[in-house]
Amino acid sequence: METAVSTAEKSVQEVIASLGKLKQEIHKTIVGQEEIIDQLLITFLAGGHGLLEGVPGLAKTLMIRSLSEAIDLKFKRIQFTPDLMPTDIIGTEILEEDHGTGKRVFKFNKGPIFANIILADEINRTSPKTQSALLEAMQEFEVTYGGVTYPLDRPFFILATQNPIEQAGTFPLPEAQLDRFLLYIKVNYPTSEEERAILAGTTGRKGAAIERVMEGHKILEAQKFVREVHINADLIGWVSDLVRATRPKETDVKYVRDWVRWGAGPRAGQAMILTAKARALLSGRLAVTQEDIRSVAFPVLRHRILTNFKAEAEGITSDDVTTHLLEKHTHRTKFIIQ
């Protein structure tokens, strides 16, 4: 007779195996980008939302679509354009005739936000007013229209893509909305070998179709397991010190005081621990290591550290600040002076 412990261990191993199959299916259409795919899966496992940034043509949309096709969840794509309105996302009331009474009544017609996986394509191509329509959904997992609140189905993920802000016709995302994204993922150009494989694979015969290998309820089960992954008090303290060291008014780190305008808030520490746990589970482990935290630190802090004008003039980014903190200090060292 199986014990409760052995049953739980079996369930964990099944989830880990399913995640491995999920990655295999994504790689049917995506060459390389191993780290990016891992970060997308970490976002799912941690129950958050992800923002992918990269120039056009780097398969950001294809990557998200491939992931959604491999999971048995409802998927919707919203193409963000300058003329998109909030009601195009949330939905609107329409006047319908009640066939029973013959009276005309208003009925709420749900928009594309009512799905499990939302692809917000080129989110920075639309106005801040429309971008803000996602705020309540991202934080509260519900939307309000006409004074009535409508819950969203769980699991619920928003995976947004955006083009670099230097490109014409883009609108910067508000800081409040940026903070709602668990990870800010940078998609870079493929390596030389990867690009050759892409050219060979996309100009020949059509590749194998993606199969659904994971059911929606398994994602919810995996999210529960993530929260049970162990992290010791020493690493929690290190995360707290790291996040606090990004704040120029609280830190003794000269580099931060020189180049940072605003540091990360407590939500960054929560995100770092949760995504480190998700990375550990994705790697088949039930305990967080320092390497897990180092790996997720960049996408967690990238949009939560705001550099000052002097840093922008010198080309110093939030990633540079994170690199400095991680290179100069280990989890046994205080964040001082350097």
pLDDT for the residue 334: 54
pLDDT, mean of residues 5-33? 78
pLDDT, mean of residues 167-180? 79
pLDDT, mean of residues 239-264? 92
Question: For residue 174, is the peptide bond before it cis, meaning its omega torsion is within 30 degrees of 0?
Answer: no
pLDDT band at 336 (very low <50, low <70, confident <90, very high): very low
pLDDT for the residue 226: 93
**Each residue's pLDDT tens digit, 24-58:** 888 888 888 888 889 999 999 999 999 998 887 77
pLDDT, mean of residues 83-90? 90
Enumerate residues 6+ apart whose C-beta is below 8 A from 264: 243, 246, 247, 301, 304, 305
Is the confidence at residue 200, as pLDDT, over 60?
yes
pLDDT band at 135 (very low <50, low <70, confident <90, very high): confident
Residue position matching structure tokens 């920075």: 124
Domains present along the chain, CATH in parentheses: 24-226 (3.40.50.300), 229-338 (1.10.8.80)
CA distance linking residue 119 with residue 115, whole number of Å: 10
pLDDT band at 338 (very low <50, low <70, confident <90, very high): very low
pLDDT for the residue 168: 65
Q: Which helix (H) or strand (E) holds 43?
A: helix 34-46
pLDDT band at 232 (very low <50, low <70, confident <90, very high): very high
Is the confidence at residue 64, as pLDDT, over 90?
no
- Strand 260-262 and strand 91-97: the pairing is unpaired
CA distance linking residue 184 with residue 161, whole number of Å: 10
pLDDT for the residue 337: 43
Average pLDDT, the chain: 86
Is the confidence at residue 267, as pLDDT, over 50?
yes
Which range has the worst mean pLDDT, 138-147, 235-244, 262-271? 138-147
**Each residue's pLDDT tens digit, 152-171:** 988 999 999 887 766 666 78
pLDDT, mean of residues 206-220? 81
Is the confidence at residue 276, as pLDDT, over 60?
yes
Is the confidence at residue 212, as pLDDT, over 80?
yes
**Each residue's pLDDT tens digit, 293-332:** 999 999 999 999 999 999 999 999 999 999 999 987 655 4
297 three-state secondary structure: helix
pLDDT for the residue 5: 53
